[in-house]
């Protein structure tokens, strides 16, 4: 088992965002995490990749309230809840955030190198860069361009490419289709399929349920911080109440 989350609870001040959640991911799977807005999907990714505790440290000494995290997160047989985000990256668990978030004043190439900031082997960096350019040829074409001038689709490709620069074992991708035109959205989804074929395990948070259900090995449906259903796309779509109430289909 690559990732195991057990009885995870996350509270922002007095609000419980994740409520006793348990899930698992096997190596080589593409797992989707779906559910209504506010269900806790992004918070779950942040908790797994250590960013919730980073947010807690950032808020320390302010009036923003407290953040608490309890439960267990085990990656590759090693417990990582409470571990700093950069140490989690070193272990091969990498987060590609929602809204793309490039370093807008930097070039495409500089953004990609930023994704490899923990890698000391220059040959490995060059190798990974070529892998990213092979997957996203447009990034090679735009390598000297300032990232803030890219289209939304190109920025999403850059965000994924930057996350791939440390060669993750598990890549967590948050809402990659947001704000993209249909043709560009399908191109991004196709690239995610290709990433899985490269042997990289993927945890995908997404609103485009009909598309991700066709891509994923298994799917988790999240609501109010709890997993309310798990299964293949066909299994979940066969449940009419689930389909209409939680999936909007």
Domain positions in the chain:
3-245
Do residues 33 and 213 lie in contact, with contact meaning Cβ atoms separated by under 8 Å?
no
Positions of E strands within 1-106:
3-12, 15-25, 30-34, 67-75, 78-79, 93-96
Instruction: Determine the topology of domain 3-245 in CATH.
Output: Rossmann fold (3.40.50)
CA angle 119-122-128, nearest 5°?
70
Q: What is the pLDDT of residue 200?
A: 97
Q: What is the pLDDT of residue 60?
A: 56
Q: pTM of the entire structure?
A: 0.93
Q: pLDDT: is 163 or 248 the higher one? A: 163
Q: What is the pLDDT of residue 246?
A: 74
Instruction: Read off the pLDDT of each residue in 229-245 and give the average, rounded to a whole number.
Output: 90
Instruction: Show contacts of 61-69: CB within 8 Å, 24+ apart.
Output: 64/13, 65/12, 65/13, 65/14, 66/11, 66/13, 67/10, 67/11, 67/12, 67/13, 68/9, 68/10, 68/11, 69/8, 69/9, 69/10
Q: Say yes or no to pLDDT of 131 above 50.
A: yes
Do residues 68 and 18 lie in contact, with contact meaning Cβ atoms separated by under 8 Å?
no
Confidence of residue 57 (pLDDT cuts 50, 70, 90): low
């Amino acid at each position: 088992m690559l990732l195991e989350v057990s009885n995870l609870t996350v509270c922002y001040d007095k609000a419980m965002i994740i409520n006793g959640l348990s899930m698992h991911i096997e190596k080589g799977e593409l797992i989707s995490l779906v559910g209504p807005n506010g269900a806790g999907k992004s918070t779950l990714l942040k908790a797994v990749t250590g960013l919730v505790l980073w947010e807690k440290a950032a808020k320390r000494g302010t009036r923003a309230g407290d953040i608490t995290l309890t439960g267990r997160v085990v990656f590759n047989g090693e417990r990582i809840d409470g571990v700093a985000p950069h140490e989690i990256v070193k272990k091969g668990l990498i987060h590609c955030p929602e809204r793309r978030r490039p370093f807008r004043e930097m070039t495409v190439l500089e953004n990609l190198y930023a994704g490899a900031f923990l890698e000391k082997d220059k040959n490995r960096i060059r190798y990974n860069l070529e892998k990213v350019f092979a997957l996203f040829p447009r990034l090679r074409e735009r390598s000297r361009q300032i990232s803030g001038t890219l289209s939304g689709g190109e920025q999403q490709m850059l965000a994924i490419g930057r996350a791939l620069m440390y060669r993750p074992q598990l890549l967590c991708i948050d809402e990659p289709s947001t704000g993209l035109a249909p043709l560009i959205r399908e191109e991004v989804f196709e690239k995610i399929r290709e990433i899985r074929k490269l042997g990289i395990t993927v945890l995908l948070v997404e609103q485009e349920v009909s598309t991700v259900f066709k891509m994923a090995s298994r799917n988790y449906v999240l609501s109010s911080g709890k997993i309310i259903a798990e299964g293949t796309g066909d299994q979940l779509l066969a449940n009419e109440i689930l389909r209409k109430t939680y999936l909007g289909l």
